[in-house]
Every structure is written in C-alpha cells, then in structure tokens.
Amino acid sequence: MTPTTLAERPETIKKGSGYVRCSTDNDRGEAMLERVELEVLLTLAEQLHFTRTAEQLRLSTGQVSRIVKRLERRIGADLFVRTSRTVTLTPIGAALVEDLTPHVAGIRTALLRAAAAGRSVTGRVRVGFVGAAAGQLLLRTVALLGARHPDCDIHIQEAQVHDACQRVFNGSLDVLITALPVSGVSVGPVLLSEPQLLAVPAGHPLAARTEVSREVMADHPVIQMPDTMPEESRRYRIPVSTPGGRPVLPGPKADTFPEILALVAAGRGVFPVGAHAARFYPRPDIAYVPMPDAPPVRWAPVWLPVNDSALVRAFVDCATQAAEPPPA
C-alpha cells in the first residue's frame, strides 16, 4: 500500500515541516513525530483523561484516540493503559514523556527568550501565587524580571485556594503560578513537579505507614476543595473514585490551605498535598505519608489568552529560568 500521510512517508519530510525525528524499529528505522502527536502525548500524560485532552487541544476525543493508537503502533508498545474509569501511563509511556518534556520546554523557552529580547518590555504586571513553594519561586522570578527589565512595575499578590483561578478569570491577576490542570487559560512550562503525600492526623493509623495508596481515600473522609476551584483541578487531586473503582469518601470543605490543615489536624479527614507541604508546613499534629500511585502535582504559570503580552511572556521566561536547578 502506498503511504498517504507525511508521517508514513519519511522521505517527504523537509526541514521546518513541524516534524521531529525519533529512532524506532519501524519505518526503515525512522519515524516522524508530528507536532499534534507531541501535543496529544504530553497533554494526555498530564490530564490522564481523553475528553479533557481533546477540549484543551480543540480536538475530538476520537482524534485523540486515533493519534494515540497511531503513536503506539509506530513505537510498537502501549503508551497508556485505558479502562472504563481510568487512564494511566505505561512504564514505556512514562519514560517517553520524561525524555520529551525537557526538550519541548527548551524549545518554548528559547522562543520566549528570543521574543522578549526583540521587544522593549515595560508596564505593570500583577502576578499571583498559591502556596509556599510557588511563593518562593515567584520571589526568584520577580528578582530576575526586575533585573532584566527595570522599567517594569511588578505587583505581587498571594491567592488562596478558593479564589486563585477566579482572580485570573476576572482580570485582577495577569499571571498566576498555580497547580495544574487549569482549563480556559494559556499554560506556561511546568516549573515544579512533585510527588503527592497524604496529610493525616498525627495519631491516625495511616500515620505509622511508610506509604499509602489512593485506595485509602475510599476508607477515610477526604477534605474537599472549594467549588470555586476549576473542576479539573479538584478532580485531578481528589478523584471521584479510587483506582479500584470505589467511591472516594467526601469530607468537609475548606476554602484555604490553612483551613484544610486545621481540619486534618482535628481528625475531620485526610488530604493529598504536594511534597513541599512537609517542608513548608510541618506540624506536630499532622503526618505526611507518601502516596506513590497518585499523579505528581505540577506547578506552572497560567494567564488569560487576552492578557498575552510581551511583559507576561517575559515573566514566564524569567519563571522558567528561576525554576532551573542551580549549576553544580
């Protein structure tokens, strides 16, 4: 059969076509990774949900499914495990995503730097953060942005769990460093990725364990995030059901992170947190237990597409640099 697509005809691909070469055992030793395939792979790896991936990329779920199947045929191995309830990465899929992510981020960063360098960056930017880890990163970002663009007027705001994304949507923040996923916004590079821990009362039976699985959320009430948070953000952290299909047991709701910790300490429930919480929020009445089967918490800058500007892009560029580990 004669190949009908560019991806099936390596000899037709030319420089600048939007394809990336990757070595495989198929297609005469070469395969082309199209930009949309790369976007689908990385977005699905983050969302672990076909419908949300399709919505974010403005594709149909059928297109997302076909693109994933095409990638898996080309590579010769499953990249995702799908059930009626869950989508998870296979070890091969996770390794591929881990290998590709820094290269994609590097391309985006290079383009941002080039664009910022070619324009004069001035004006006011209102930047926000949620949580101590994002706050530390924001301070490094602001220092770098101020040094690079001294004519900028930078306003820093701390946002709470219940109103952080609302501040972006209502225009009171130009850019926010927050936990993903968030839909309806432009999303910058992931600045920080950390494993999840389960916060439990210090005297709780789970506190003595070396690790727990998400299954325990069907046995113990889970403190609920406020309804004002985007649903995709809440469900990423606190799913409707466990990996085994059991319904997660809902506990009381809280509007701020200190309220969440107070409810945990009072024995009203447990709550999944990013690993930085154990460092920034140590408490004698709370234990943080590793939960290795939970997806990582990823932090990134987000902003409204209508607020996209040279100054916002310069901030994102500086945040990307500020998140880089110091040289050894």
Q: Which of these, 81, 78, 65, 44, lies nearest to 243 by C-alpha position?
A: 81
Backbone angles phi, psi at 302, to 5 degrees: -130, 150
Burial (0-12, 13-18, 19+ Cβ within 10 Å), 39: middle
Residue with the larger pLDDT of the pair 309 and 215: 215
Helix (H) or strand (E) holding 93, with range, is: helix 91-117
| Residue 112 pLDDT greater than 90, yes or no | no
The per-residue pLDDT for range 148-185, each reduced to its tens digit, is 888 888 899 999 888 999 999 999 999 999 999 999 99
| pLDDT grade for 290, boundaries at 50, 70 and 90 | very high
pLDDT at residue 120, as a whole number: 59
Residue with the larger pLDDT of the pair 1 and 141: 141
| Residue 77 pLDDT greater than 50, yes or no | yes
| Residue 111 pLDDT greater than 80, yes or no | no
CATH superfamily, region 119-192+299-323: Periplasmic binding protein-like II (3.40.190.10)
Based on its alpha-carbon atoms, the radius of gyration of the chain, rounded to whole angstroms, reads 21
- CA–CA distance, 233 with 12 (Å, rounded to integer): 42
- CA–CA distance, 118 with 237 (Å, rounded to integer): 39
Q: Do domains 119-192+299-323 and 196-295 have the same CATH topology?
A: yes
Backbone angles phi, psi at 81, to 5 degrees: -105, 120
The CATH architecture assigned to 6-92 reads: Orthogonal Bundle (1.10)
Task: Please give the share of the chain, as a percent, with pLDDT higher than 90.
Answer: 66
- CA–CA distance, 151 with 82 (Å, rounded to integer): 51
User: Distances in Å between the alpha carbon of 267 and those of 203, 213, 260, 270, 324?
Assistant: 9, 19, 11, 8, 38
CATH superfamily, region 196-295: Periplasmic binding protein-like II (3.40.190.10)
Q: Is 166 left (phi over 0), alpha (psi -120 to 50) or beta?
A: alpha
Task: Please give the share of the chain, as a percent, with pLDDT higher than 70.
Answer: 87
The per-residue pLDDT for range 10-38, each reduced to its tens digit, is 333 333 334 444 444 444 434 567 888 88
| Residue 297 pLDDT greater than 50, yes or no | yes
